[in-house]
Structure 1
Amino acid sequence: MRALVTGAGGFVGATLVRRLLAEGHEVHATGRPGGQPWRLEDVRADIELHEVDLADAEAIARLVGRARPDWVFHLAAHGAYSWQTETQPILAVNVLGTAALLDAALDAGAQAFIHAGSSSEYGLKDHPPVEDEALAPNSTYAVGKAAATHYCSFVGQRAVARVATLRLYSIYGPWEDPGRLMPTLAVRGLRGELPPLVAPETARDFVHVDDACDAFVRAAQAPDLEPGVVLNLGSGRQTTLREIVAIAREVLAIEAEPQWGSTAARSWDTSVWVSDPRRIETALGWRASTDLREGFRDLADWLASDPDRLARYASVARR
């Protein structure tokens, strides 16, 4: 197949690009103008890399018209990081950009459009939310992602097309942003240290990036996927910060004791954050299969195996 991956310079996007190449697909990838797609350096010669502003509907239409993709994987977003707070770019990229890309993809005859949603669309819940319950987004980013999901569902149903949103929970693994929890734990842990930590009861539903990419490919291939469907991409298992720190200490033989509450909690930190994965299991036959301990060990080994890579990540972990 000819696949188009937006946000290919990001963590999940770069991993998905490698998965598609390994399976023999032709890959067109997008990155933001002026971006530094360092995650794609070793596969740069194997893909068609396009710079495109997802807030520019005409540029999106031209790109899709040239690439003529069979599959579109839309992973590009703005606002997922704490420093991306401006309302206009968040809504322009996540809402208008998604709409322009989806419209162009269907006009070009794409067989599948798989959109990366976010568990943040649900807001803070005291239970594992199902896909069709009321959303309560509590950030501009979450509002934008929820709006994009609604548009994908609407268009998918109207066009009777293979359009799906996978609501991602906490994806981790190789190529993750150096400032995130798991790489920081691994980099510090390889030095026998622990980073500053929020409250130990803070919880997440962790999914290894390889499992996440498997779900994206399965969704693109599924011939009987419900048009416009929304699926929770999570493990259904909640892990607290106390538990993941214990895993890191065991895997890397860290003797340092955790200093709980040594850094401030974020507005989205909560003691309940877990998916209900029943619908994705039924629709795609998918479930998260990577054990968290083995996934963390894999991440640490991946970092330690390349001194330049480790140095890149360590330069952020020291900040």
Structure 2
Amino acid sequence: MSETRILVTGGAGFIGSHLVRRLLDEGHEVLVVDNFYSGSRANLADVLHDPRLEIVRHDVTFPLYVEVDEIYHLACPASPVFYQRDPVQTTKTSVVGSINMLGLAKRTKAKILLSSTSEVYGDPQVHPQDESYWGHVNPIGIRSCYDEGKRCAETLFFDYRRQHDLPIKVARIFNTYGPMMRPDDGRVVSNFIVSALRGEPLTIYGDGTQTRSFCFVDDLVDGLIRLMRTPHEVTGPINLGNPHEFTMTELAEKVIAMVDTGVGVEYHPLPSDDPTQRQPDITQARGVLGWEPKVQLAEGLTTTVDYFRRQLAAQSVG
């Protein structure tokens, strides 16, 4: 495969850092653009020496003038803790950031992929969710900055396609977990693991019957790369996620058994607009990309628990 210069916005974040490693392993030049709001240079510590990696501190809500062949547009905080902290900036990142990256793609004739989200489906009334479902989203709630920001980003991508014949790809990413997650990001897998490792009760919001589907990050990155390499006529949106559904109670029980610190569970009220079900229909991913997740939850959780155990041990030494 010929060497390509690839821009990854949000490349110092959780998913972005894994994607950057994969692209470097394949021999590409990689330009990481990140404002480090929720990402961290430490996520790329093991590849900082690579001469094909360049990291630029930049906010995508401002234009960027570089020469690239492909753009993976991942920039945007994806955990409620971070995107609700500055909701106006979250919407700007999705909307203005997408306009800037699409403009860059148009100028450089680069292929561009948007990391959209299952949150475009809102609290779904269709189960499982396939790409033809338009969603059930509150436009004025506390999660709307992210949900509607990503919906608008998808609109922009398809309008650039229709108006300028831009080679776009849109991936709708479902719950993803693995090493490089922040311990304070407020997502359920990291919350459960960190609480268990600290010997604290796991917090379940609601009655524990709401469901999620958990995809290990290595599988997700493979799906993104496969989507980017599809022919021009393939645009998506394509769901990328694990179709195996688990309740919050089932996930808590798995983490407690794995960490084995004898902790219990506490129940708290369900946050506003928190979806009760989330499960991808990945028929398109299987058919178009030849992709489906390979890492089972037990295997992925073991790797993730080991990562957080090392992180917390390093913090206690420091």
Give the corresponding residue for 1:104: 104
Partner of 1:130, secondary structure, is coil
Q: Distance in 1 between the 2:162 and 2:222 partners? A: 24
Q: Distance in 2 between the 1:91 and 1:72 partners? A: 20
Contact 2:192 2:203 in 1 (8 A): no
1:271 counterpart = 2:276: yes
Report how many aligned residue pairs link the two structures. 301
Give the corresponding residue for 1:188: 195
Unaligned runs of 5+ in 1: none
Matches within 5 A, 1:217-256: 217-223=225-231, 225-226=233-234, 228-256=235-263
For residue 48 of structure 1, report the CA deviation from its aligned partner. Answer: 0.2
For residue 146 of structure 1, report the CA deviation from its aligned partner. Answer: 0.2
Q: Distance in 2 between the 1:292 and 1:152 partners? A: 33
Q: Distance in 1 between the 2:259 and 2:151 partners? A: 38
User: CA-atom RMSD, angstroms?
Assistant: 2.3
For residue 245 of structure 1, report the CA deviation from its aligned partner. Answer: 1.2
Q: In the alignment, which of 32, 36, 41 is matched to residue 37 of structure 1?
A: 41
Regions of 4+ moved over 6 Å: 312-315
Q: Distance in 2 between the 1:299 and 1:87 partners? A: 29
For residue 94 of structure 1, report the CA deviation from its aligned partner. Answer: 0.4
Give the corresponding residue for 2:211: 203
For residue 158 of structure 1, report the CA deviation from its aligned partner. Answer: 4.1
Instruction: Specify the code of the residue in structure 1 equivalent to 2:218.
Output: D
Contact 1:201 1:240 in 2 (8 A): yes
Give the corresponding residue for 1:88: 88
Partner of 1:45, secondary structure, is coil
Q: Distance in 1 between the 2:172 and 2:48 partners? A: 28
Contact 1:13 1:75 in 2 (8 A): yes
For residue 191 of structure 1, report the CA deviation from its aligned partner. Answer: 4.7
Q: In the alignment, which of 162, 169, 172 is matched to residue 167 of structure 2?
A: 162
Matches within 5 A, 1:40-59: 40-46=44-50, 47-57=53-63
Give the corresponding residue for 1:257: 264
Q: Distance in 2 between the 1:313 and 1:120 partners? A: 33
Give the corresponding residue for 2:128: 128
1:172 counterpart = 2:177: yes
Give the direction of change, closer, same or farther, for the CA distance of 1:82–1:114 in structure 2 (3 Å limit): same
Give the direction of change, closer, same or farther, for the CA distance of 1:187–1:84 in structure 2 (3 Å limit): closer
Give the direction of change, closer, same or farther, for the CA distance of 1:210–1:313 in structure 2 (3 Å limit): farther
For residue 37 of structure 1, report the CA deviation from its aligned partner. Answer: 2.4
Matches within 5 A, 1:144-159: 144-159=149-164
Contact 1:240 1:271 in 2 (8 A): no
Q: Report the TM-score when normalising by structure 2.
A: 0.86
Percent identical across equivalent pairs? 28
Q: Distance in 1 between the 2:36 and 2:214 partners? A: 31
Q: Distance in 1 between the 2:220 and 2:301 partners? A: 15
Give the direction of change, closer, same or farther, for the CA distance of 1:242–1:79 in structure 2 (3 Å limit): closer
Instruction: Specify the code of the residue in structure 2 equivalent to 1:15.
Output: H
Partner of 1:267, secondary structure, is coil
Unaligned runs of 5+ in 2: 139-143
